[in-house]
Amino acid sequence: MTRLLHLVNLRSANVGNGALILGTERILREDLLPEVQFERVAWDDYTFGLLPFDSRFVDRINASDGLLVNGAVTFNGRAYLQQTGSRFDLPLELWSKIKKPVIFYGLSHRFWPGQSYHHAERLRAMLQTIRQAEQMRMALRNDGTRDWLNETIGEQCAAGMPEIPDPALYVTAEPGGLYPEMQKGRFNLLLSFNDEDAEYRYAEPGMRNHVLQQLVAMVVRLSRVVDLNVVLVPHYFDDFQMVHDFIQACPPALAHQQMVASGLARLEGTGSFYGRYLQADAVIAMRVHAMSPAIGLGVPALFLVTQERMKQFLGNAGLSEWMVDFREPYLADRLVTTLLAIKADKERVRQRFLTARQEMREQSRLFNQSLAGLFGR
């Protein structure tokens, strides 16, 4: 039995972390370590200062068979990340004491124009340490993170590092769940907002209001041609403000009669949360972890992108046909047209998503198999 520590956002109410955790563990069992026991370690305890990254963390790694660092957002440039300039903020002087394999699995970034990346020199040193360590491997998520690191942190610090797809593609869902908010015989549209980092995400004057008004116009127009049931599915607390503002902007009768909202979910509720996706006729995904699970589950979706890394991921997957940029001046027109095209040809969309998943699954498999030497296989 192999026992791997798995550093994850364990206590988070953002269900995307559940998709990352379960998707990663699933494919590593399938491809590399079928008998592995994952011991989940709460990364969020370290992020919020409840526990320190120190020699005790190193001792814990060495008492196991290795450490798997989950593919969550790791590079965000926060000022308090003084040791490595990343959320894996273990002091670099302790890294030489690690004797077991360490795998950084599909790490990504969230960083906006106009922000300063604090401690970039420490992040460069961290990446160099990983390159030089025989027992360490890093793969970056294929959402432009490698190019972003080279351009933002500099010195081609991530040149040649392998890229892998978002592991949340491989989350499983519970198809038989009871979802009273889904209504048989109606067009059930899930709408996943994203109000995270709103001051940067919608930085242009009036842009957030533009998106809200265009989404309202889209729902109004769609309700005239289909028997519409809109289910608002926030993924984290940030999204509730946008849900509120959207409802306030809707005609009262529409909000009263054709809309309902779901709640959040922790890790334990991940399968149930995405089971709702399986029952939808279509999804409008503004969040990364509304996007990749929808693709992986073959759920017809429209991707309303508000950040470059979503564009990069969809372009790499060959799925740009279903991508709509939030800055489009006639956004409502594009949304309605794309949704009606999805409705008219759901099976083609579903099959294209599943084909993309299969192609990306092979990319993941190749990287997973390259890790075998770390575990004497």
For the stretch 283-301, pLDDT in tens is: 999 999 999 999 999 999 9
Which run of H or of E encompasses 306?
A: none
How many Cβ atoms sit within 10 Å of the Cβ of residue 257? 11
Residues 316-331 as b/e (b if ≥16 CB within 10 A, e otherwise) read bbebeebbbebeeeeb
Q: What angle do CA 179, 183, 185 make, to 5 degrees?
A: 140
pLDDT at 114: 86
Please count the CA atoms within 13 angstroms of the CA of 345 that sit on its side-chain side: 9
Distance separating alpha carbons of residues 235 and 289, to the nearest angstrom:
8
Closest residue by Cα to residue 292 from 35, 77, 71: 71
pLDDT at 177: 84
Residues 70-127: tens digit of each pLDDT: 999 999 999 999 999 999 999 999 999 999 999 999 999 999 998 999 999 999 999 9
Question: Measured on CA atoms in the order 134, 136, 139, 145, is the torsion positive or negative?
Answer: negative
- Burial (Cβ within 10 Å: 0-12, 13-18, ≥19) of residue 172: middle
pLDDT at 351: 98
**Is pLDDT of 155 > 90?**
no
- What mean pLDDT comes out for the span 140-169? 95
pLDDT at 376: 77
pLDDT at 1: 87
Do 67 and 102 contact (CB within 8 A), yes or no? yes
* SS3 assignment, position 351: helix
Longest dimension (CA), the chain: 65
Alpha helices in 133-202, H assignment, sequence order: 145-152, 198-201
pLDDT at 356: 98
pLDDT at 135: 96
Average pLDDT, the chain: 96
Distance separating alpha carbons of residues 24 and 170, to the nearest angstrom:
7
Alpha helices in the chain, H assignment, sequence order: 15-31, 43-47, 55-62, 120-132, 145-152, 198-201, 207-223, 238-249, 252-258, 270-278, 288-297, 308-317, 331-344, 346-370
Specify the amino acid at residue 181. E
Specify the amino acid at residue 293. P
Do 231 and 188 contact (CB within 8 A), yes or no? yes
**Is pLDDT of 377 > 70?**
no
Residue bearing the bigger pLDDT, 287 or 1: 287
**pTM score:** 0.97
* SS3 assignment, position 229: strand
Closest residue by Cα to residue 174 from 271, 95, 312, 306: 271
